[in-house]
Amino acid sequence: MRVTITGAAGFLGRKVAARLALTGKVGARDITAMTLFDMVEPKPPAGAPFPVTCLSGDIANPADCARAVDRDTGVVVHLAAVVSAQAEADFDLGWRVNLDGTRALLEACRASGARPRVVFTSSVATFSGGQDAVIDDATRPVPGNSYGAQKAAGELLIHDYTRKGYIDGVTLRLPTVVVRPGRPNRAASSFASSILREPFLGEEAFLPVPESFALWIASPRAATDWLVHAAALDGKTLGLDRGINPPGLTVTVRDMMLVLQSVGGHAAMRLISRMEDKEVAAIVGAWPARFSDARAKALGFRAHEGLEALVRAFLEDDLAETKAMRA
């Protein structure tokens, strides 16, 4: 079967593609071909044991989506999205890419007749309630930003296309992914990666929230594991409800600073400065930090590693590439 990854030039897309190139399988099924899709043409993963087609296109353009899916497509991992601060700054672009783009992709899946497993990445940003909220599998999304509203609407598309038998969908509501490799981006949560990444590059990082601020996070390793697990899940065990809060890690900024000090020492700590950013604080301030993950655990999503392991994995997996990118 073919596996298609949208947003495949992004860091999570590249990690999922690399993982699948390594194993050659999704669950028990062999991967015989892969399509990587993004705005800019993605690079194929090293050493893939199957042919890889790399496409550039506009996810909201039905003709472009049609090229990304065929009747042999068994799995689609849909990561293409406009991130939170950008979706907040450009309302039309956010709805176009995050809702219309998802719909165009689902229409391509429906037209293919392949009824693929679609793994959709929704977000903690679909919820609000902030530091006091505890989210469980039945909590209604009341988004505090457009990105969250678009992702929550995308979940409803995944849900209904699945119920009608056009796809076999699963939604993972991803926590804030930390440490993101590369550069700071336009996600409102970008600071959470910056404070655990920039000091290891000898760069300053700015903290727009107090040390007591809690976040719900996931490492790139955990997020990749969950996406691959979601791709292989038996849809029959899910029933009508296709949304899953994976078992993220609740950490405070203080926890992150302590690990930074423990791994990077005082030199690293000195590169962090507090700097107010009301726009960012307003977006991330609405995001809950505490989740019940009963359903995810029952479905076999693996528990999250600790915060120090997360930082050491960044140094092992992504520091060299991040340095090279900036050289």
Whether residue 121 contacts residue 81, with contact meaning beta carbons closer than 8 Å, is answered with yes
| List 37, 147, 191, 287, catalytic entry | 147
Whether residue 210 contacts residue 256, with contact meaning beta carbons closer than 8 Å, is answered with no
The amino acid that residue 228 corresponds to is V
Question: Contacts with a copy of itself: how many residues (CB under 8 A)?
Answer: 25
Which of 72/136 has CB closer to a copy of itself? 136
User: Which x/- pattern, by CB under 8 A, does the window 238-277 give for a copy of itself?
Assistant: --xx-x----------------------------------
152 scored as a contact of a copy of itself (CB under 8 A): yes
Task: Report the nearest approach of a copy of itself to the CB of residue 107 (Å).
Answer: 9
Which has the closest alpha carbon to 196: 278, 255, 246? 255
Task: Report the nearest approach of a copy of itself to the CB of residue 262 (Å).
Answer: 38
> Would you say how long the chain is, in residues?
327
* CA–CA separation, 21 and 231 (whole Å): 14
Q: Would strands 25-26 and 29-30 be described as parallel, antiparallel, or unpaired?
A: antiparallel
Which of 255/293 has CB closer to a copy of itself? 293
Whether residue 241 contacts residue 235, with contact meaning beta carbons closer than 8 Å, is answered with no
Task: Report the nearest approach of a copy of itself to the CB of residue 11 (Å).
Answer: 27
Whether residue 284 contacts residue 145, with contact meaning beta carbons closer than 8 Å, is answered with no
Question: In sequence order, what are the beta bridge partners of 134?
Answer: 290
163 scored as a contact of a copy of itself (CB under 8 A): yes
Q: Is 166 in the active site?
A: no
Q: Which of 24, 71, 91, 254 binds a copy of itself (CB under 8 A)?
A: 91
Using CB under 8 A as the criterion, which residues of the chain lie in contact with a copy of itself when the complex forms?
91, 128, 137-146, 149-150, 152-153, 156-157, 159-160, 163-164, 240-241, 243
Q: Which residues are catalytic?
A: 147
